Amino acid sequence: MGIYLNPGNDGFSESVRSRIYVDKTGLIGCTNTLINTKEKYICISRPRRFGKSMALEMLAAYYSCGCDSRKLFEGLTIEKNDGYEEHLNQYNVIFLNMQQFLLGAENQFLTEYLEQEVLEELLEEYKEYLTGTKKKLADTLKNIYAKTGKKFIFLIDEWDCVIRERQKDEKMQKQYLDFLRGLLKDQTYVAMAYMTGILPIKKYGEHSALNMFWEYSMTDQNIFEEYTGFTDTEVKELCERFDMDFTKTSDWYDGYKFRQFRHIYNPRSVVGAMKFHHFSNYWTSTETYEALKIYIDMNYDGLRADIVRMLGGAHVRVNTLSFQNDMRTFKTKDDVLTLLIHLGYLGYDVNKKEAFIPNKEIMGEFENAMSVGGWAEVMRVLNASEKLLEATLLCDEKNVAEGLDQAHTEVASILTYNDENSLACAVSLAYYSARKDYRMIRELPSGRGFADIVFLPLPHTANNPALVVELKYDKSADTALQQIKDRNYVQSLEGFAGEILLVGINYDKDSKEKTHSCLIERYAKKE
């Protein structure tokens, strides 16, 4: 058992023994099908603290011939897999944490230091097969495979740390990528290469050093969706076990969407909430909001407007294909938004190709980033939102209309004022504080159409009334209110036992004052 060559199973053993462990060994079933195939080169990119290192420790425990992990996997999902016995502890594993190599290299080139460290272990383990003359790592591995007939599985953690932490050193980046290419591409000793990081593989125009890798990123995890975070089923089980409210957990940490699994939760945050029995910002607490602020403050046409729309609960169209997979090459707002998707600050709907703010935890991080300057008009709207909600619950139509006037005026500095989508965004932002006590649903199917906005009380505020909001543009608040009734928008709330308020809002762009009008009515339930 070595540090890099055939590590043991201590890391995964600690995970299994932890108070909270969610079985993700099904991932091994996926990788088993890829060994010794053209798809054996796997690059998984996910946000920080999304279980990447834990997955690598699990793979090392399963594949490494340097340990016996049979008892460790007893009772876990993979034990029932058809290929379980065939691959269990049958491979030479080389485990490389690039972050550690980058820190340890000091004045050396990263790759030189890496080769030196790994070769020392190989020479000690296989000295009977190797001459005393040190060769390149790739040549040494060829010799070992030729003598033993045993292939290697490469597990590479933080593969992209050079791209992220040496952003301006393109020479170093290219040298590093070329090293990985020489080590892995078309080498007969490779049974599988599984590497993980935050970013997808760096693009260099026509230079694609690692084009043999199949990529699974936050824009499309494909067969690895289920293992990207926690699923609905897994979180429900945890909530039952720890007596935590599932709806509130969803509001805080759900929101990452893929093709098949439409509800993926941030695992770090869910574990924190269960462990401490308290909802808070567990994922974002490990990094300051300045990191997010740098990107949302970038001066690309349309970026600020898209951020504002997403704060209001909207989804925005994003072209993710032009992104160069680094943290400094930005040509359009889409490049910035794509980076935020990979960093976990935005969710991404691969079917609709739209980005959005996924949950309450991330929403709070955006609010923190905007609070330190540059977003004064938006912050004024957010800060005033509590008074607007209070006025709505009191059926104070005059103050609601005046509050919307102010919100729309503030937001108009970023969005086009005389625009129907602008109105919807302004209203959503104006009711921002309501999300502490309500689940906001835009365009909820109901009756004979879609209610513009519905606010459903969360369990801890179950005595609050639900709100059904209809927006009109250049018509009247009365027309909006009547549409709620005529199209039976309250139908979707028939299981709700509490009070329901119907809120009709209109914006008159042609009036001299460009004012809003509002009518609020208590819904009379049929006996």
- As given in the structure block, the two tokens for residue 499 are 């009070």
Whole-number pLDDT of residue 149: 94
Give me the residue label for tokens 């504002």. 308
Are 115 and 174 a contacting pair, CB within 8 Å? no
In this structure, the answer to whether residues 301 and 335 fall within a common structural domain is yes
Q: Residues in the chain, how many? A: 527
Same domain, 198 and 266: no
- β-pairing verdict for 316-317 and 92-97: unpaired
Q: Residue 450, CB half-sphere, CA atoms under 13 Å: how many?
A: 6
Mapping DSSP onto H, E and C, the string for 448-488 reads CEEEEEEEEECHHHCCCCEEEEEEEECCCHHHHHHHHHHCC
Beta-bridge partners for 455: 440, 467
Above 60 in pLDDT, residue 524? yes
In this structure, the answer to whether residues 365 and 413 fall within a common structural domain is no
Q: In degrees to the nearest 10, what's the CA dihedral of 61, 62, 66, 71?
A: 80
- In a domain, residue 235? The reply is yes
Instruction: Give the confidence band of 301 by pLDDT, cuts at 50, 70, 90.
Output: confident
pLDDT at res. 492: 83
Cβ-Cβ contacts under 8 Å for 171 (sequence gap 6 or more): none
* Within-domain flag for 265: yes
Pairing between β-strand 449-457 and β-strand 438-446 as defined by DSSP bridges: antiparallel
Do 358 and 390 share a domain, yes or no? Answer: no
**Dist. CA 125–CA 321, nearest whole Å:** 45
Q: Which two tokens stand for residue 167?
A: 């952003």
Residue 2 lies inside a defined structural domain of this protein: no
Q: Which residue type does 19 have? A: R
Range name among 306-310, 354-358, 471-475, 494-498 with the lowest pLDDT average: 494-498
Out of 347, 374, 401, pick the residue that ends a domain: 374
Question: With pLDDT > 70 as the criterion, what percentage of the chain qualifies?
Answer: 96
Asked if residues 79 and 375 have their Cβ atoms less than 8 Å apart, the reply is no
**157/16 same-domain check:** yes
Residues 6+ apart with CB under 8 A from 20: 238, 271, 274, 275
Would the pLDDT of 411 be above 90? no
Under 8 Å between Cβ of 91 and 64: yes
The predicted-structure confidence for 8-40, as pLDDT tens digits, reads as follows: 999 999 999 999 999 999 999 999 999 999 999
Interval 479-496 mean pLDDT: 90
Secondary structure tally for the chain: helices H, strands E: 20, 15
Domain final residue, candidates 374, 398, 420: 374
511 pLDDT above the threshold of 70 = no
Pairing of the two strands 500-507 and 264-265:
unpaired
Burial-class residue 174 by CB neighbours within 10 Å (0-12, 13-18, 19+). middle
- The pLDDT value given to residue 262: 95
Alpha helices in 228-343 (DSSP H): 232-242, 246-253, 267-276, 290-296, 303-311, 333-343
Residue-wise pLDDT for 50-107, tens only, equals: 999 999 999 999 999 999 999 999 999 999 999 999 999 999 999 999 999 999 887 7
193 with 236, same domain: the answer is no
Looking at the structure, do residues 250 and 262 belong to the same domain, yes or no?
yes
Residue 290, both tokens? 């300045």
Which of 211-220, 255-264, 414-423, 442-451 is predicted with the least confidence, judged by mean pLDDT?
A: 414-423
Core vs surface per residue 470-487: b (16+ CB within 10 A) or e: bbbbeeebeebbebbbeb
Question: Cα separation of 339 and 334, whole Å?
Answer: 9
Asked whether residue 131 carries a pLDDT value surpassing 90, the answer given is no
Q: Choose the weakest-confidence range: 69-73, 302-306, 347-351, 371-375.
A: 371-375
Residues 264-285, mean pLDDT to the nearest whole number: 93
Handedness of CA 277, 283, 287, 288 (dihedral sign): negative
Q: Count of domains in the chain? A: 3
- pLDDT over 70 (residue 419): no
Of 399 and 286, which is predicted with more confidence? 399
Does 193 share its domain with 239? no
Consecutive H or E run containing 176: helix 170-184
Q: Are residues 179 and 245 in the same domain?
A: no
Q: Give the model's pLDDT for residue 450.
A: 87
Half-sphere exposure of 333 (CA within 13 A, CB side): 15
Is residue 154 in some structural domain?
Answer: yes
Which pLDDT does position 57 carry in this prediction?
97
Residue 514 pLDDT exceeds 80: no
Q: What is the mean pLDDT of the chain?
A: 91
Within a 10 A sphere around the Cβ of 83, how many other Cβ atoms?
14
What pLDDT score does 496 carry?
Answer: 87
CATH code of the domain in which 175 resides: 3.40.50
CB within 8 A of 239, min separation 6: which ones? 245, 246, 249, 274
List the one residue out of 150, 142, 148, 214 whose CA is nearest residue 183. Answer: 142
pLDDT confidence tier of residue 133, bands split at 50, 70 and 90: low
Please report the pLDDT score of residue 230 as a whole number: 98
Reference 428, options 517, 307, 312; nearest CA is: 312
Confidence band for 449, pLDDT divided at 50, 70 and 90: confident
Among 407, 403, 405, 357, CA closest to 377: 407
What are 341's two structure tokens? 């998707």
CATH number for the domain including 409?
A: 3.40.1350
In a domain, 3, yes or no: no
Taking alpha carbons only, the member of 261, 271, 265, 238 closest to residue 252 is: 265
Maximal CA-CA distance, the chain: 91
What gap in Å lies between CA 522 and CA 485, rounded to an integer? 12
Q: Which of 340, 374, 408 is the last residue of a domain?
A: 374
Does residue 5 form part of some domain? no
Query: Strand 92-97 and strand 466-473: pairing?
Result: unpaired
Q: Would residue 160 count as lying in a domain?
A: yes
* Residue 213 DSSP symbol: P
Query: Quick one: 194 and 298 in the same domain?
Result: no
Mark whether 19 and 130 lie in a shared domain.
Answer: yes
| Cβ pair 408, 417 in contact under 8 A | yes
Residues 383 and 279: beta-carbon distance below 8 Å:
no
Question: In this predicted structure, what is the pLDDT of residue 430?
Answer: 93
Cβ neighbourhood burial of 75 (10 Å; 0-12, 13-18, 19+): exposed
The answer to whether residue 4 is domain-embedded is: no
Are 408 and 516 in contact by the 8 Å Cβ rule? The answer is yes
Cα separation, 119 vs 141, in Å, equals: 9
Supply the range of the domain harboring residue 444: 376-522
Q: pLDDT > 90: what percent of the chain?
A: 73
Give the Cα separation of 504 and 484 in Å (integer).
8
C-alpha triplet 372, 168, 299: angle, nearest 5°:
40
pLDDT tens-digit series, residues 186-245: 999 999 999 999 999 987 655 567 999 999 999 999 999 999 999 999 999 999 999 999
What's the token pair of residue 469? 């909001």
Do 307 and 398 sit in the same domain of this protein?
Answer: no
